[in-house]
Amino acid sequence: MVFEKVKEILMEKTDKDASEITMETSFSDLGIDSLDIVEMSMDLEDAFGIELEVDEKLATVGDLVKKIEELKA
Amino acid sequence: MSFTILGTGMYAPEKIVTNDDLSHLVDTNDEWIRKRVGVVTRRISVNETTSEMGVKAAKAALENAGVLPEELDLILAATVSGEDRSPSVACMIQNALGVSCAAYDINAACSAFLFLMETAAGYFARKKVKKVLLVGAERLSGIVDWTDRSTCVIFGDGAGAVVLGEGNNYLDSVIHVHGGDEVIKIPSFGGTSPFYERETPAPYIFMNGQETFRYAVNSICTDITELLENNHLSMDDIDYIVPHQANVRIIDFAAKKLKVSPEKFVVNIDRYGNTSSASIPMALDELNRSGKLKRGDKIVFTAFGGGLASAASLVIW
């Protein structure tokens, strides 16, 4: 469910197809900028009721999904 | 008793600097700046000081209001880029207008124009004044690091002013301050004291872009929501939102979160860049002179910036 939400937000920001966004996709490959990342973080905070600090160690979609699942737990 | 806005004015220096011009100074390009900031051109002062630009905006506002300088009871100005630490920009504007009323500056960075309105409202409530001039004036080109591509592409120079008279059209405001210098900071010139042991930072605008973005969007959303709730109004009651012109992405994302059509927001950052305390009165003046405003229209102003300080206010035109 977390992955589906992340994918939905990324599709809106990048015009990529669902098939192009997997757990292994890295943010740099998606061509999103630093403000896209903040916007995505704020959308995810609203969606899951968490506080998500922007962290440069989160390189892939999978890293982000794992982080959100930890915060939700 | 609060006040009514009698007239508006603005001034932007003649020199237009394009994104292509900046691409010759730093590693950047037109597409990057348009997409990330929303600025296409900005005006840059070649030979005018901050207060000289403020005087031109003030004269335009006085003319628009049909008020003579000698009628003014108070001049309040806002700037983070005045040519002198003293005298204040307000004092230099008073001097240039040849008047003798009280004049002083208020520092709340990009939000300052709303703090000027709040302060002026107190004078009107106490019936101490009949005509007040508010000016936001900035020569930010003097305090940006022209080798830093992340900031020098954002800002511009200019001034905006309004003239206020007695009335009941300033309905309400909310102000929030979270003091701290981690997100936005503009160090002063630190001097050359042979006794001072601390390092003195370069006197240029510093911003943490991502944190500024987050703070700005949250401020717009919470300040406007609080303001509307306090006044039992909904977004449908509001005709125009005049935001501080910091970054078009901030405005667009805040509009999305508030579920408001971006058309309700008055935007001119594409032509002037971020002019800090001058941006709201400049945008208001363009709205006024466009002929779209009708008496009775409800306008929400929203601003955020260094301090950190944010504010929103509700005015009937």
With beta carbons less than 8 A apart as the criterion, state whether B3 and B121 touch.
Answer: yes
Assess whether B274 carries a catalytic annotation.
Answer: yes
Residues of B in contact with A42 (CB under 8 A): 214, 217-218, 253, 257
pLDDT in tens, chain A (73 residues): 888 888 888 888 887 888 888 888 888 888 788 888 888 889 888 888 888 876 767 788 888 888 888 888 7
User: Of the residues A15, A17, A29, A33, which is catalytic?
Assistant: A33
Interhelix angle B89-97/B50-65, rounded to 10 degrees, is: 50
With beta carbons less than 8 A apart as the criterion, state whether B310 and B172 touch.
Answer: no
B115 and chain A in contact, CB less than 8 A = no
With beta carbons less than 8 A apart as the criterion, state whether B240 and B121 touch.
Answer: no
Q: What is the rounded distance in angstroms from the CA atom of residue A20 to the CA atom of residue A17? A: 5
What residue has token string 């302060």? B119
User: The pTM is what?
Assistant: 0.93
Is B210–A33 a contact, with Cβ atoms under 8 angstroms apart? no
Secondary structure of residue B161 in the 3-state scheme: strand
Domain residue limits, chain B: 2-168, 172-316
Kindly report the average pLDDT of chain B as a whole number.
Answer: 96
What is the share, in percent, of chain B residues with pLDDT greater than 90? Answer: 96
| ipTM of the complex, rounded to two decimals | 0.82
Domain range A2-72, its CATH number among 1.10.10.10, 1.10.1200.10, 3.40.50.300, 3.30.70.920: 1.10.1200.10
Residues of B in contact with A44 (CB under 8 A): none
B36 and chain A in contact, CB less than 8 A = yes
**B167: β partners:** B2
Is the pLDDT at B227 greater than 90, yes or no? yes
Domain residue limits, chain A: 2-72
Closest CA to A57 of A35, A27, A33, A32: A27
The identity of residue A27, as a single letter, is: F
User: Of the residues B101, B110, B152, B247, which is catalytic?
Assistant: B110
With beta carbons less than 8 A apart as the criterion, state whether B45 and B141 touch.
Answer: yes
What residue has token string 């700037």? B79
CATH architecture of B2-168: 3-Layer(aba) Sandwich (3.40)
Average pLDDT of B13-24?
Answer: 96
Fold that domain B172-316 belongs to in CATH: Peroxisomal Thiolase; Chain A, domain 1 (3.40.47)
